[in-house]
Amino acid sequence: MQKIYLCIFTLLLFSCQEQPNKNVYIPPASIDSFQNKFNLNFGADELKKIIKKIDFLIIDESLDSEIKFQKIDEVSPNKISNFIDCGTMNNEVYVDYINRIFDSSLKIKTTIEIKSIDKSNSRLKLISYYVFTSIETGTQWKFKTNESKMILVGTPAYGAEPYRECASKHLFESRIIKEFINQ
């Protein structure tokens, strides 16, 4: 009889306990592929003049037929969600969720290659490499222009999908390309 009372008491105790909230992760919306290779109506000499006008670009290497340069940026934590999309967690932008819970950082390294086709035409190729880091956990998403990254989170929130995906919103790349096109 004691066992029956113990079973009933245990059943009542657990049935009255609040069920944990289910965490819901939704991956990023499909982001269109970004056109990161295209022709410019500028020869190498004109391009060098344009690059000197664009204050945020620094030439790494310069040849007569090829110009290659890189730009490295560290994004302010409260602006990371402007540059990348990692979906949502419980209706909160996942990037903001990570920053609120664990602190975060985003570094963007952009490589731009411009090859002269002839005296009045060039070909531009731009690729940004992203490193989004959850500072407290050390989890990193490393991805690049037009390639998202899916990783398995070591300790996902209770009940949440353990995979997280991050992709570029192409804001940074668009800004650079706009500088060239508007010249």
pLDDT tens digits, one per residue of 54-106: 766 655 555 456 677 777 889 999 999 999 999 998 899 999 999 999 999 99
Cα–chain-centroid distance for residue 69?
Answer: 21
Q: For residue 133, how many other CB atoms are within 10 A of its CB?
A: 18
d(CA 177, CA 36): 8
Per-residue confidence at 133, pLDDT binned at 50, 70, 90? Answer: very high
Give, for 16, the enclosing helix (H) or strand (E): helix 2-16
pTM of the model as a whole: 0.78
The whole-number pLDDT of residue 84 equals 95
Q: Retrieve residue 70's tokens.
A: 């890189």
Per-residue confidence at 7, pLDDT binned at 50, 70, 90? Answer: very low
The whole-number pLDDT of residue 145 equals 94
Locate the domains of the chain by residue range: 2-181
